[in-house]
Amino acid sequence: MRRILCVLAGVLFLHGSLWAENLRVFPADTKPASFDGFVDNGVKLGRRVWMLAPGLQIRDRANLIVVPATLNGVENLPVRVQFDTQGAVWRIWILTPEEAAKR
Protein backbone atom coordinates (compact mmCIF):
# COMPACT_ATOMS: atom_id res chain seq x y z
CA MET A 1 0.00 0.00 0.00
CA ARG A 2 2.82 2.37 0.88
CA ARG A 3 4.52 1.69 -2.47
CA ILE A 4 1.30 2.51 -4.34
CA LEU A 5 0.97 5.81 -2.48
CA CYS A 6 4.59 6.69 -3.27
CA VAL A 7 4.08 5.94 -6.97
CA LEU A 8 0.86 7.95 -7.02
CA ALA A 9 2.58 10.89 -5.30
CA GLY A 10 5.39 10.72 -7.87
CA VAL A 11 2.97 10.75 -10.77
CA LEU A 12 1.09 13.70 -9.32
CA PHE A 13 4.36 15.55 -8.74
CA LEU A 14 5.56 14.98 -12.31
CA HIS A 15 2.26 16.04 -13.84
CA GLY A 16 1.60 18.83 -11.37
CA SER A 17 2.76 21.48 -13.79
CA LEU A 18 0.20 20.34 -16.38
CA TRP A 19 -2.51 20.43 -13.74
CA ALA A 20 -1.44 23.92 -12.64
CA GLU A 21 -1.46 25.20 -16.23
CA ASN A 22 -5.05 24.15 -16.73
CA LEU A 23 -6.14 25.97 -13.58
CA ARG A 24 -4.24 29.24 -13.98
CA VAL A 25 -6.48 32.22 -13.45
CA PHE A 26 -4.97 35.62 -14.12
CA PRO A 27 -5.90 38.74 -12.15
CA ALA A 28 -8.57 40.83 -13.82
CA ASP A 29 -6.20 43.78 -14.35
CA THR A 30 -3.67 41.85 -16.48
CA LYS A 31 -3.20 42.69 -20.14
CA PRO A 32 -2.16 40.42 -23.03
CA ALA A 33 1.13 41.43 -24.65
CA SER A 34 4.01 40.22 -26.75
CA PHE A 35 7.32 40.03 -24.85
CA ASP A 36 10.20 41.19 -27.03
CA GLY A 37 13.10 41.34 -24.58
CA PHE A 38 14.68 43.50 -21.93
CA VAL A 39 16.09 46.90 -22.86
CA ASP A 40 18.39 48.71 -20.38
CA ASN A 41 16.23 48.86 -17.23
CA GLY A 42 12.95 48.20 -19.03
CA VAL A 43 11.03 45.54 -20.90
CA LYS A 44 9.87 45.74 -24.50
CA LEU A 45 6.24 44.69 -24.93
CA GLY A 46 5.28 44.97 -28.56
CA ARG A 47 6.55 48.32 -29.83
CA ARG A 48 6.70 50.01 -26.44
CA VAL A 49 9.31 49.90 -23.66
CA TRP A 50 8.01 49.86 -20.08
CA MET A 51 9.88 50.44 -16.83
CA LEU A 52 10.43 47.46 -14.53
CA ALA A 53 8.93 47.61 -11.05
CA PRO A 54 11.02 46.70 -8.02
CA GLY A 55 10.28 43.08 -7.21
CA LEU A 56 9.42 42.13 -10.80
CA GLN A 57 8.11 38.56 -10.90
CA ILE A 58 8.13 36.39 -14.03
CA ARG A 59 6.27 33.08 -14.12
CA ASP A 60 6.88 30.44 -16.78
CA ARG A 61 4.38 28.11 -18.43
CA ALA A 62 4.49 25.80 -15.40
CA ASN A 63 3.71 28.80 -13.15
CA LEU A 64 7.21 28.70 -11.60
CA ILE A 65 9.12 31.91 -10.93
CA VAL A 66 12.05 32.38 -13.33
CA VAL A 67 14.88 34.91 -13.43
CA PRO A 68 14.92 37.46 -16.25
CA ALA A 69 18.19 36.06 -17.65
CA THR A 70 16.31 32.95 -18.81
CA LEU A 71 14.52 35.15 -21.37
CA ASN A 72 17.63 36.55 -23.06
CA GLY A 73 17.25 36.43 -26.83
CA VAL A 74 13.55 35.56 -26.68
CA GLU A 75 11.21 37.58 -28.87
CA ASN A 76 7.53 37.58 -29.74
CA LEU A 77 6.59 35.54 -26.66
CA PRO A 78 2.89 35.70 -25.69
CA VAL A 79 2.50 36.89 -22.10
CA ARG A 80 0.05 38.47 -19.70
CA VAL A 81 1.32 41.53 -17.85
CA GLN A 82 0.30 43.27 -14.65
CA PHE A 83 1.38 46.84 -13.89
CA ASP A 84 1.98 48.41 -10.49
CA THR A 85 0.40 51.69 -9.35
CA GLN A 86 3.21 53.69 -10.98
CA GLY A 87 2.67 52.09 -14.40
CA ALA A 88 5.76 49.85 -14.28
CA VAL A 89 5.68 46.15 -15.20
CA TRP A 90 5.25 44.22 -11.95
CA ARG A 91 4.21 40.68 -12.99
CA ILE A 92 4.69 38.72 -16.23
CA TRP A 93 3.11 35.33 -16.98
CA ILE A 94 4.47 33.39 -19.97
CA LEU A 95 1.48 31.82 -21.67
CA THR A 96 1.07 28.23 -22.78
CA PRO A 97 -0.08 27.74 -26.39
CA GLU A 98 -3.61 27.03 -25.08
CA GLU A 99 -3.65 30.20 -22.97
CA ALA A 100 -2.25 32.26 -25.85
CA ALA A 101 -5.04 30.99 -28.13
CA LYS A 102 -7.64 32.26 -25.63
CA ARG A 103 -6.20 35.75 -25.32
Query: What pTM was computed for the model?
Result: 0.76
* pLDDT at site 102: 84
Report residue 26 CA to chain centroid gap. Answer: 10
For residues 4 and 26, the model is more confident at 26
* pLDDT at site 32: 97
What three-state secondary structure class fits 43?
A: strand
Q: Which residues contact 98 (CB under 8 A, 6 or more apart)?
A: 21
Confidence of residue 19 (pLDDT cuts 50, 70, 90): low
For residues 27 and 12, the model is more confident at 27
Confidence of residue 21 (pLDDT cuts 50, 70, 90): very low
